Amino acid sequence: MRLLFRFLSLIALVVAVIAGVIDAIQSVAADRLVLTPLRAAWSDVSPATLAALEDWVLAHLPAAFWDPGLRLILGQPATAVLLALAFLLYLLGHRRRQRASRFSWRR
């Protein structure tokens, strides 16, 4: 299971870097800071899955979960959201080191 979380973390990190590079290129071309919201980036790539997510959330969860919750996340820059997702997935897949006990010979 840890391997799956680490792999998903890697995928999210790669997509975040790609989104960051695209924003950087657009910022240089426009001569101002351009940050693409997650909703715009997602709808450019796959609008059907974004609509399917909205339909699923509205059908299975309270409506208040979609409107203030996910709309707020979808309005944030795609790079920042994907970096946060990559970090959370990495934390889920991270294995703690075993600490040597107090009276252990290991150091």
Question: What residues contact residue 66 under an 8 Å CB cut-off, 6+ apart?
Answer: 54, 57, 58
Length of the chain: 107
- Residue 97 pLDDT level (bands cut at 50, 70, 90): confident
For 16-30, how does the pLDDT look when each residue is reduced to its tens digit (9 = 90+)? Answer: 999 999 999 999 999
What's this model's pTM, rounded to 2 decimal places? Answer: 0.82
For 33-90, how does the pLDDT look when each residue is reduced to its tens digit (9 = 90+)? Answer: 999 999 999 999 999 999 998 899 888 888 888 888 888 999 999 999 999 999 999 9
* Closest of 27, 67, 22, 24 to residue 40, by C-alpha: 22
